[in-house]
Amino acid sequence: MSVLDNRPALKAAVDQVAEVAGYLWQKGWAERNGGNITINITDQVDDALRAMPAIDEPRAIGKTLPHIKGCWFYCKGTGKRMRDLSHDPMANGSIIRILPDCAHYEIVADAVVAPTSELPSHLAVHDYLLAKGSPYRASLHTHPIELVALTHNKKWMEKDVATRMLWSMIPETKAFCPRGLGMVPYMLPSSVELADATIKALDEDYDVVMWEKHGVFAVDTDIMSAFDQVDVLNKSALIYIAARNMGFEPDGMTDAQMKELSSVFGLPK
């Protein structure tokens, strides 16, 4: 028995997480337990699920987050593998609800799987999104090889230098990641400082931010769309590397071509 049984909307949302987890593994972005996913499932929770008791003691979030009070999330489990989650999301993740004090959560289903170590960043981001009335309900952290490699050079960590290069490799990247790639300097994984810096970067108008020498953090309406944003950015990084491997620095699209694209597609920047 699973809480997903007879709840098609909830099952569809969790199944989409499982599908994306499979892609992350196939792409080589999810070594061992690398990466994590959370989705806000509050709208898919019915009264019967709401009435279910917790299956474990309350745990501290590490932050007080007033806007996610009473919200529900599906979270990848800490130490769990994306490749395992893709086959069995409820054994490699859990459903949690945020308690009224906004500082603790409890696991409701299906098994006592402790949520990802990056929960402070994920929940702080969901809190930020709800506070600003955003329709975004999904957040993804993953380790895309080529994008992480870029952050090992100070030049690419400067504001919007990588964005400009990545956008100019192929028109789709600006069209489908229209806010570009924010940069967060190295901070300890799972720390509250990293959560705060991530929100600051998202607030500067990015949907995708890099954690220097670690990975990427992306938000969107659903997890497939968050994955797509990272996928188009990493594709551009691969094109850049392919050109460099052919022995030349790629020209990139011109400023005039990028401007035309922005006006035709109605892009913000």
Q: Which residues are catalytic?
A: 118
Site residues (CB under 6 A) for ligand 13P, limited to 32-91:
33-36, 76, 78-79
Across the beta sheet with 93-98, what order do the strands follow? Answer: 59-60, 104-109, 93-98, 72-76, 36-40, 138-142, 215-220, 208-211, 181-184
The yes or no reply on residue 215 touching Zn ion (CB under 5 A) is: yes
Q: How many residues bind ligand 13P (CB under 6 A)?
A: 12
Q: Name the residue nearer to ligand 13P (CB basis): 76 or 179.
A: 76
Q: Name the residue nearer to Zn ion (CB basis): 138 or 239.
A: 138
Considering CB distances under 5 to 8 angstroms, the limit depending on partner class, which of ligand 13P, Zn ion, none binds residue 33? Answer: ligand 13P
The position carrying tokens 């607030």 is 203
Query: For the CA atoms of 60, 66, 68, 69, what is the dihedral angle to 10 degrees?
Result: 80
Q: In 29-180, which residue ranges form alpha helices assigned H by DSSP? A: 47-50, 82-85, 119-131, 145-150, 154-157, 161-167, 171-176
The yes or no reply on residue 139 touching ligand 13P (CB under 6 A) is: no
Nearest CA among 142, 124, 165 for reference residue 211: 142
The yes or no reply on residue 120 touching Zn ion (CB under 5 A) is: no
- Pattern 156-185, ligand 13P, x by CB under 6 A: ------------------------------
| Residues at the contact surface with ligand 13P, assessed by CB under 6 A | 33-36, 76, 78-79, 116-118, 141, 189
| Residues at the contact surface with Zn ion, assessed by CB under 5 A | 215
